[in-house]
Amino acid sequence: MKKGEVQLLDEQKRRHDGRAPNETRPISMKVGVLDRADGSALVEFGKTKVLAAVYGPREVHPRHLALPDRALLRVSYRMATFSTWERKRPTPSRREIELSMVIASALEPALFLEKYPKCAIDVFCLVIEADGGTRTTAINAASLALADAGIPMRGLVVAIAVGRVGDTIIVDLDEVEDNYAESDMPIAMLFPQEEITLLQMDGTMSPHLFEQALETARQVLRNVYSLQVKALKERALKARTKVVL
C-alpha cells in the first residue's frame, strides 16, 4: 500500500521500519529523573522522547485563578527548539497551547483534584526529540510523573495512537506514518479501569475498522500500562534502597 511516494506497508504487511501492524516501537520509561521536581519521568517511544515534571500541589499564583472546590491542573506542553530537523521557534505555538489543553483533559479524570482546593498542580512536558506520537508519549510521561509526585490518582493514564493504512490498522505511528497514513487516532485510557479519557481522530475510518482500531489500542495499552507499573515499582525499590543505606 502506498500513499504518495511513501510505501507504508509492503506485500507482507510489514511497515516501512520493519514493524508488524500491531507492534510498537521500543519503549523506555524511567521515573524520578529530576531531583528538584516533586515528580518526574522520561518516556521514549522509539526516537520520540518526552521529559515530564510535576510541581505541587502548591499555592496558586496569581491567586485569583484559584478554584474554591478543587485544584487547578495546569499543563504546559512544549517542544524543545532542537527536537525536530528544523529549529523550532522558542515561543509557544498555537499547536503547543492546544495540546497542553488536550493533555490536561486526558489526565484530569485520573486525579482527585477535589482534595486540594485553592491549589495548583503544574505539569511540564518537554519534547526532547520528536518522531511522531508526541502527545501520547507526553500523556504517558505526565501520568508517571504525577504518580511519582504522590498525587492521589484513580489509576494511571496510558496513551497510544492507532491509524489506518488501507484496511490495515497500525499502532504507535511514527512521523512518516503520522504524515501519510489515511487516519490517525490518538487514544488515552485510565487503567486498570480501561475508561477512555481521550479520543481524537484525524482522517476517516469505517465503523468496522473503528471498532477494530479501538480493540487493538486496548490490547496495546494494557502492555504499556504494565511497563508504567514496572517503572514505578523500580522507582519505589530504588527509593527504599536509598533509605536503607
Burial class (CB in 10 A: 0-12, 13-18, 19+), 67: middle
Split into its structural domains, the chain has a count of 1
Which one, of 77, 91, 90, lies nearest residue 125 by Cα?
77
Percent of the chain topping pLDDT 70: 93
Lowest mean pLDDT among 72-86, 95-109, 154-168: 72-86
Residue keyed to cell 525536530? 84
The CA-based diameter of the chain, rounded to the nearest angstrom, is 60
Kindly state the DSSP code that residue 86 receives in the 8-state scheme. S
The helix/strand/coil state of 118 is coil
What is the predicted pLDDT for the residue at 134?
Answer: 97
- State the pTM of this model: 0.93
Q: Using the predicted structure, report yes or no on whether residue 3 has a pLDDT greater than 50.
A: no
Task: Quick: pLDDT tens for 101-123.
Answer: 999 999 999 999 999 999 999 99
pLDDT digits (tens, 9 = 90+) for 173-219: 999 999 999 999 999 999 999 999 999 999 999 999 999 999 999 99
Amino acid at 86: E
- Residues 32 and 143: their CA atoms lie apart, in Å, by 12
Give me the mean pLDDT over the 15-31 stretch. Answer: 96
Lowest mean per-residue pLDDT among 84-98, 117-131, 148-162 = 84-98
Q: Domain residues for 235? A: 2-244
Band (92; pLDDT cuts 50, 70, 90): confident
pLDDT band at 148 (very low <50, low <70, confident <90, very high): very high
CA–CA distance, 40 with 55 (Å, rounded to integer): 9
Question: What SS3 class is residue 72?
Answer: strand
Specify the CATH number for the domain of residue 46. Answer: 3.30.230.70
Phi, psi (degrees; rounded to nearest 5) at 218:
-60, -45
Q: How many CA atoms does the CB half-sphere of 214 hold within 13 Å? A: 14
**pLDDT higher than threshold 70 for residue 32:** yes
Q: How far is CA 93 from CA 23, 81, 163, in A?
A: 32, 12, 25
Q: Which amino acid is at 147?
A: A
| Mean pLDDT of all residues in 7-22 | 92
Most confident of 78-82, 152-156, 180-184: 152-156
> 147 — phi, psi (to 5°)?
-65, -40
DSSP label at residue 141: H
Q: Which pLDDT value is given to residue 93?
A: 87
The predicted pLDDT at position 131 comes to 95
pLDDT, greater one: 221 or 12 = 221
As a whole number, the mean pLDDT across the chain is 92
Which residue type, as a one-letter code, is found at position 114? E
Spatial distance between the Cα atoms of 245 and 243, rounded to a whole number of angstroms: 5
| Helical packing angle, 94-107 and 134-148, nearest 10° | 50
